Amino acid sequence: MDKICVIGAGSWGTAVACTLTRNGHETVLYMRRKEQYEDMQRTGKNLRYFPELELPKSLKFSNDLKTALDGVTIVILAVSSQGNLNAIKELKELLPSDVIVVNISKGLDREQGLRCSQMMEEFLPDNPFAVLTGPSHAEEVMIQMPTALVCASKNLKVAKQIQELVSNDTMRVYVNEDVIGAELGGALKNIIAFGIGIVDGLGYGDNTKAAIMTRGIAEITRFGVSMGAKVETFSGLAGIGDLIVTCTSMHSRNRRAGILVGKGMSLEQVQAEINMVVEGIVATKVIGEMSQKTGIDMPITHAIYHVLFENGSVQDAVVQLMGREKKHEVETYH
């Protein structure tokens, strides 16, 4: 069995660490905060995210990264996307080149708009890399509800290795070689989920939400293909699958944040209320500015950008979307 280090004891990192432990792998969950480490050692629980749930007794905890990485064959990056760059720079000093790195966060770097694979190419180019993504609320994975994911890697052998590692009776993992598509699908669906939340906050109904989701996946696909992704990826778990789960559930902090904006809260008030990273806000800024520079048509993203960063009203944003030039539904992606 593999020895695995999961870096980041948030909700999703904890859920994946528990899954790997139940699958029989020696797993250590690393967390930076000493207080969290001491609490988990003392209680056997992640009190912030799953206060009612006992973690597997064989799951190990660590507050020392060098010790946590000793002898590992696989590292799971479970920090927020805003923490990926610092985490990868730390790993550069500690990680042998044959250790596989798997990113499970969904988002883009705030400063440069980088995907995790781009950071890896710069700092850990020799380490095999994969992305594990798809419709997967940590709250449901923790109680072992049936879930399907996709693992994407340029090296299909690596993707299949992670597929075997994670799969069990309640977790089905597919493989894919489109890393760019998997990363962008996970990041951009947060923008659309934020928009769905705004629609909920305004009191609009199912018709409106269906329209936003459907045109949202078209927008995600258009941007992804322009960045080198495969169109087919966005019809799968990393695209429409993740979009559905994030847009329809109150587990989604992006949707919850959007609801607050739709009800009239400012961006600062929303961030204080949610008190966690809302990846959709970051992605809206990054992708909104990137698409404007490249001329990629992303009307939903631009409407949300206008509300969040240009003091636009949500009502005006809806009018703007509904009043756009009439067009054919079906488009060809290049």
Catalytic residues: 189
CB burial of residue 188 (10 Å; 0-12, 13-18, 19+): buried
Please name which of 142, 241, 140, 141 lies closest in space to residue 193, comparing C-alpha atoms: 241
Return the CA Rg of the chain: 20
Sheet arrangement for strand 129-133:
60-62, 26-30, 3-7, 74-77, 100-103, 129-133, 147-152, 171-176
Report the candidate in 29, 36, 26, 31 with the shortest Cα–Cα distance to residue 58: 26
DSSP secondary structure letter of residue 51: T
The whole-angstrom separation of Cα 286 and Cα 216 is 17
3-state SS of 183-196 is: HHHHHHHHHHHHHH
Amino acid of residue 307? V
